Each structure stands twice: as structure tokens, then as C-alpha cells.
Amino acid sequence: MARLNVNPTRMELRRLKNRLKTAVRGHKLLKDKSDETIRQFMIYIKENKRLREELESKLSDSLRSFLLAGSVTTSQVLEEAVAMPAFNLELTTGEANIMSVMVPTIQVKEGDKTNLYPYSFAAVSAELDDSIKNLSDLIADLVHLAEVEKTCNMLADEIEKNRRRVNALEYVMIPQLEETIKYITMKLDENERAATIRLMKVKTVIQQ
């Protein structure tokens, strides 16, 4: 491991020891943060998997009903039936702090569903009613799934950043500091031994 290019002085040795102490403490904190972030990430991944499987199953049923409605209804009548929105949604966005990562939060407030079917029942089949009802019930879950997936992506990015920082400290910075401290300590010991030998020689010359 290459050492840092510094002067082998006691002042530099003290400074590097302080840097090493800070780097070791920072490495531990980042490692702990990375472990906790991964734990939170796994919780959201499981929630994401559960929501996606549930929604895919329900969406498949809704789309199947929609296709059945389309098979017995002309495309023009079908388009006119679903052209106008049946009810309104209110979304309230915010942020939540997960291990110093600001992730989005979305609250869904559904409007009145009394006019969920803004078309004539005589013109379309019952399958269209089922499809629209099921899809309207899934809107809040779809928004929640989007929130969870975005949180997973942001936590994954943070885990990768932390991993690079931890590796940089563990495999580059800390070994360099340790190697440099070892080098400076050896140089200082050599200088001290050399100074001691010179003093002994001077003492011997004076005695002679």
C-alpha cells in the first residue's frame, strides 16, 4: 500500500494519528448506517413485492373484464363510456426521513364515487361495470406502490454510495494512514537512535 507523501516529523505524526482516529470512527458510523439502510431496504422490498403481486392479480382480473366488455360492445361506445372521469382524486405529497434519505410520501384522498358509471347501463355490458369498479378501487394501491418503489430506488442508491465510501475508507484511506504512520514512526526512531549514537561518540571523544 502506497503511503502518503508527507514529512516525517512529530507534528505530522500527531496530525495523521488524529486523521486515522477520525477515519476509523467514520468507517464504523458509515458501516452501521449501511447495515441499517439495508435492513430498511429489505423491509420495503418485501412490501413492494407483496403489493406488486396483489395489484398484478387484481389488474389482470380488471383487464379481463374490460376485454370481455370490448368483445360485446363496439369500440366507439366503449370509448364514449370511459371518456369522462367518474370522480376526482386529491394527492398530498410530502417527504419522510429514512436514514438521512428524504423519500417521498403520497396521501390519496378519493372523491365522491356516486357517479362512478357516467354512462347508460343499457349501452354497455356488466363486465365494463366490474372493470371500472375494480380499477377505481386500485388507484390508491397503485399510488402507494409507486411511493414504495421510489423509496426502494432511493435507498438502493444510498446503499451504493455508502458502500463506495466504506470501501474507500477501509481499503484506501485507513491503510494509507497506517502505513504512513508506521513509516514516520520508523524514521523518527532511526533519527533518535542516530542522535543517541552521535551523543555517545561526542561523549567518548570528550572523555578521551
Domain boundaries, the chain: 10-199
Q: Cα–Cα distance between 166 and 154 in angstroms, integer?
A: 18
Least confident piece of the model among 90-104, 112-126, 151-165:
112-126
The model's pLDDT over 111-127, given as tens digits with 9 standing for 90+, comes to 666 565 665 555 566 66
Q: Cα–Cα distance between 37 and 34 in angstroms, integer?
A: 5
What is the pLDDT averaged over residues 83-102? 81
Q: Give me the CATH topology for the region 10-199.
A: Helix Hairpins (1.10.287)
pLDDT value for 116: 59
Q: Cα–Cα distance between 51 and 60 in angstroms, integer?
A: 14
- Banded model confidence at residue 141, pLDDT cuts 50, 70, 90: confident
Most confident option among 7-11, 44-48, 130-134, 139-143: 44-48
Q: Cα–Cα distance between 160 and 154 in angstroms, integer?
A: 10
What is the pLDDT averaged over residues 174-188? 91
pLDDT value for 125: 64
Enter the DSSP assignment of 115: T
Beta-carbon contacts of 68 under 8 Å, excluding residues fewer than 6 positions away, are: 125, 127
State CA 31 to chain mean position distance.
15
The whole-model pTM stands at 0.75
Strands (E), 61-133: 89-98, 101-110
- Banded model confidence at residue 83, pLDDT cuts 50, 70, 90: low
Quick one: which of 5, 7, 10, 6 has its CA closest to 188? Answer: 10
Return the ∠ at Cα 83 (arms to 131 and 136), rounded to 5°.
Answer: 35
- List 107's β-bridge partners, or say none: 92
